Chains A and B, each alone.
Chain A
Amino acid sequence: QKEVEQDPGPLSVPEGAIVSLNCTYSNSAFQYFMWYRQYSRKGPELLMYTYSSGNKEDGRFTAQVDKSSKYISLFIRDSQPSDSATYLCAMSGGDSSYKLIFGSGTRLLVRP
């Protein structure tokens, strides 16, 4: 079993839709949770960072962490074609917080 599971997609939605992206994990020591956005032929760009459980909102983006279920989500409201990218979840914890464990990424396509 992978430490971090992420549906590869692709996920295709119409412009304006609410998008839900998710990851599950198995290591209960994880306490730092990140979402990265990666456009084609570019490096990952840090989008959201959450420590421990709870919600965090930044504009159209909301990150949720449910440590009891070992489940994290990224919601995108009013999705735009420019949101079309691969979204990577990443997490770490314990003494080795620098060791990010990544999901495989979900490819999102927002249709105009």
Chain B
Amino acid sequence: ETGVTQTPRHLVMGMTNKKSLKCEQHLGHNAMYWYKQSAKKPLELMFVYNFKEQTENNSVPSRFSPECPNSSHLFLHLHTLQPEDSALYLCASSHSGGDQETQYFGPGTRLLVL
């Protein structure tokens, strides 16, 4: 595997379900990100992790819960989501420090909340 991988690629869940999205990067980076991409809207930064520590929570509702067990893996735990949470969820990674603007994205998980 190379680059940034995400699983599952597609997910359909009810509002009472609990599910998790997984991201893994094989680029030797130390910073990882979750973004939300909704139709016709710009990408929205959700969470940032540097060296496994959360350094940014962009006012994301608590029904989204990130977890970063190490610099290569990132999870997004989902529970009691709303239909408006349906979107493409993208994971990205970068070096920490002076090169954080150069981010590499995974293919995304397309989420549908019924």
Looking at the assembled complex, report how far the CB atom of A29 sits from the nearest CB atom of chain B, in whole angstroms: 13
CA distance A28 to B71 in the complex (A): 33
Q: Indicate which residue in A8, A43, A97, A102 contacts B100 across the interface (CB closer than 8 Å).
A: A97
Q: Are A34 and B101 in contact (CB under 8 A)?
A: yes
By a beta-carbon cutoff of 8 Å, the part of chain A in contact with chain B is: 2, 4, 8, 32, 34, 36, 41-46, 49, 88, 90, 92, 97-105
Complex contacts, B42 vs chain A, CB 8 Å: 2, 4, 88, 101-105
Binary per-residue interface labels of chain B (30-58) against chain A in the complex, 1 for a CB within 8 Å, 0 otherwise: 01010000001111010010000000100
Q: Are B31 and A98 in contact (CB under 8 A)?
A: yes
Q: Give the most central of A34, A100, A103: most B CB within 10 Å.
A: A100
Q: Given A98-B48, A102-B42: A45 and B101 within 8 A (CB)?
A: no
Q: Is B64 an interface residue (CB 8 A)?
A: no
Q: Is B103 an interface residue (CB 8 A)?
A: yes
Q: Is B90 an interface residue (CB 8 A)?
A: yes
Question: How many residues from B make CB contacts under 8 Å with A?
Answer: 24
Looking at the assembled complex, report how far the CB atom of B78 sits from the nearest CB atom of chain A, in whole angstroms: 19
Complex contacts, B48 vs chain A, CB 8 Å: 98
Q: What's the A-B contact tally at a CB cutoff of 8 Å?
A: 57
Q: Are B43 and A102 in contact (CB under 8 A)?
A: yes
Q: Given A43-B107, A46-B102: A88 and B31 within 8 A (CB)?
A: no
Complex contacts, B66 vs chain A, CB 8 Å: none
Looking at the assembled complex, report how far the CB atom of A52 sits from the nearest CB atom of chain B, in whole angstroms: 12
Q: Given A98-B48, A103-B42, A104-B40: A45 and B100 within 8 A (CB)?
A: no
B82-111 with Cβ < 8 A to chain A: 90, 94, 98, 100-108, 110
B12-35 with Cβ < 8 A to chain A: 31, 33
Complex contacts, A4 vs chain B, CB 8 Å: 42
CA distance A36 to B101 in the complex (A): 12
CA distance A4 to B94 in the complex (A): 22
Q: Given A43-B107, A43-B108, A98-B101: A104 and B41 within 8 A (CB)?
A: yes
A–B pairs, 27, beta carbons within 8 Å: A2-B42, A4-B42, A34-B102, A36-B105, A41-B110, A42-B108, A43-B6, A44-B43, A44-B90, A44-B105, A45-B105, A46-B102, A46-B103, A46-B105, A97-B98, A97-B101, A98-B33, A98-B100, A98-B103, A99-B56, A100-B43, A100-B45, A100-B103, A101-B42, A102-B42, A104-B42, A105-B42
